[in-house]
Chains A and B, each alone.
Chain A
Amino acid sequence: MARITKEEVKRIADVSRLHITDDELEKISAQLDEFIELAETLNEVDTTGVEPTTHVFKVKNVMREDIPEPGMDRDLLFKNAPDHQDGQFKVPAVLD
């Protein structure tokens, strides 16, 4: 039996902000299913009481002196923007 339903795959695509075609849905569902099989092999490992590693070294908040510095030039920041106007990024309508 499949470890993941098509509905679930569609939901994951949606939260990933991706459109997927019906063809892709078939393919990705099968691949995710295979991936879950691989991921579940971790259940063979007893991890009772094991601390998770989020980072190789224990990093706490890294502080620096609060000295103001000039930021990047605003015009420069728009250099790679697909669309902008009056010093702001331009997007299509947020609401239909």
Chain B
Amino acid sequence: MSLFEHKLAELQELLQKKEITVSDLVAESFKRIHEVDDKVKAFITLDEERAREQAKKLDEKQANGETDGLLFGMPIGIKDNIVTQDLRTTCASKMLENFVPIYNATVMDKLQEAGAITVGKLNMDEFAMGGTTESSYFHKTRNPWNLDYVPGGSSGGSAAAVAAGEVPFALGSDTGGSVRQPAGYCGVVGMKPTYGRVSRYGLVAFASSLDQIGTITRNVEDNAYLLQVIAGHDHRDSTSADVEVPNYVEQLTGDIRGLKIAVPKEYLSEGVSEPVRNAILEALKKFEELGATWEEVSLPHSKYSVPAYYIIASAEASSNLARFDGIRYGYRAEDAKNLLDLYKKSRSEGFGAEVKRRIMIGNYVLSKGNYEKYFRKAQQVRTLIKQDFEKIFENYDVIVGPIAPTTANKIGEFTKNPLTMYTRDILTIPVNLAGVPAISIPCGFDNGLPIGMQIIGKHFDEGTVYRVAHAFEQATDFHKQRPQL
């Protein structure tokens, strides 16, 4: 049995009793990576030598009984848009193929302080733009449950690595569903915290008003521990929230009696496949058995979240990605005639098709004459979407629905028409526009592919989201299923 079948609390106990060492944990991770990553292709870069050295140092601490730190000795994989000092960070783009950061993201400092060990950097859609991990410059990641299918995206490498047992913990980022949707497709637990809950310092910016770093694990309790470590205010990110971080694990009581669940009719309407809808209805029955009640509600502006999101996210991306000019860092084209040509050549050769498309959409909606018509309009619709959620949360504790209309799609299915892919994000992007926290947890299978359930909470109420997710998890065994690789 893999050591990673144990949850974090059990692994910590084994470490304290000296039945295992930190080196054992790191070795387990690399053993599995060398066994299966040829098939899954979750990683872009491995950091094996350094991870093993670090493990040895922690072995010494362990021998002295110094196992403090919530994640002491735990191997973790990091999405490749979070900067890691002295470890290549590519954003899965040719633009940053050789980029080695000279500083750490705040979350990396926090992980290190908590005793976690980075084993490598995980694949993603280029600059986090996509929902399949197919737009990576390096390679496509495959869904561990069926290698012909995508793992979802953009944090596809993070979700696939956890599902395949390569690492028990991973970080991703979620701008429009990029942590939750791949977690759903791969049958693992993925949390997008409240906007501002986790510092974005060192997260390569895509859409700054929507981006949030999120946590991917095999079970809810481990996820709560991981968020506990990375959450909190950071003076280096002025948009990080100065709001106290509660003890999440303490809130996993298993008790959801009297909890009021809202189920938006828009989240179970046409477009949602029969097996997915049935899995959610079954889950709602389970919640009733556990003493909660649910009612159908409406989030009337849901359908407008897709255009509003693509306008806002692309506008912000066009501005954020203007920094890639081939001068201070990143890809530089050869034989440029002059400075302007250098910008154009470097960007044209360094960015992939989807990134270029979004930059152009962004510059289009920000152009004179279009700004009011599209960008400001989208921001107004964003207000209405946010108000939809506020209204529901006056009377309910959480919102429940599927994480995606169907299970994972086949590799290559959407590469021809990006707009079809965009419309599949309708269940995840309203959450980013409103800035609320949401989790995806496994709640069923369809033809051997996992189905994910989304639980959405109030601003800064990750605690309730975790409590509900944990109660469901304890009453079911979907999270115990493993893909055969």
Contact = CB atoms under 8 A, between A and B. Distances in A.
Interface of A: 4, 9, 12-13, 15-20, 28, 31-32, 34-35, 38-39, 41-45, 47, 50-57, 59, 62, 64, 72, 76-77, 79-83, 89, 91-96
18 contacts: A17-B322, A17-B343, A28-B356, A31-B357, A38-B306, A38-B419, A38-B422, A39-B311, A42-B308, A45-B380, A51-B383, A62-B238, A72-B102, A79-B100, A80-B99, A82-B327, A82-B332, A96-B337
Nearest to A95: B338
B318 A16 contact: yes
A18 B359 contact: yes
A42 B347 contact: no
Nearest to A73: B102
Contacts of A12: 360, 363-364, 367
B166 interface: no
A12 B351 CA distance: 16
B473 interface: no
Q: Which 6 A-B pairs have the closest CB atoms?
A: A56-B435, A52-B379, A80-B329, A82-B332, A47-B380, A62-B238
Main secondary structure on chain A at its contact with chain B? loop
B304 interface: yes
Contact of A57 (B196, B347, B433): B196
Contacts of A44: 304
A39 B307 contact: yes
Contact of A89 (B307, B328, B364): B328
Nearest to A59: B239
Contacts of A93: 338-339
Contacts of B393: none
A64 B338 contact: no
A57 B276 CA distance: 33
Interface string B377-410: 1111111101000000000000000000000000
Contacts of A95: 338
Given A57-B195, A80-B330, A50 B380 contact: yes
B418 interface: yes
Interface string B299-343: 001011011101100000010001001111111100011111111
B348 interface: yes
A31 B418 contact: yes
A95 B316 CA distance: 30
B367 to A, nearest CB: 7
Contacts of A81: 327-329
B311 to A, nearest CB: 6
A40 to B, nearest CB: 8
A28 B360 contact: yes
B435 A47 contact: no
Interface string B217-251: 00000000000000000010011010000000000
A59 B398 CA distance: 26
Main secondary structure on chain B at its contact with chain A? helix
A52 B328 contact: no
Contact of B377 (A16, A47, A54): A47
Contacts of A9: 360
A91 B356 CA distance: 23
Nearest to B194: A56
B16 interface: no
Contacts of B381: 42, 45, 47
Nearest to B364: A12
Contacts of A50: 380, 383-384
Interface in B280-315: 301, 303-304, 306-308, 310-311
B357 A76 contact: no
A80 B329 CA distance: 5
A65 B329 CA distance: 31
Given A28-B360, A32-B360, A45-B304, A52 B336 contact: no
Contacts of A80: 98-100, 102, 328-330
Contacts of B378: 39, 42
The residue in A13, A53, A91 that gathers the most chain B C-beta atoms within 10 A of its C-beta is A53
A21 B271 CA distance: 36
The residue in B329, B330, B337, B351 that gathers the most chain A C-beta atoms within 10 A of its C-beta is B329
B339 A19 contact: no
Given A56-B196, A89-B328, A39 B374 contact: yes
Contact of B102 (A18, A76, A94): A76
A53 B238 CA distance: 18
Contacts of A54: 209, 379
Contacts of B332: 82-83
Contact of A92 (B303, B325, B336, B365): B336
Contacts of B303: 41
Contact of A52 (B241, B347, B376): B376
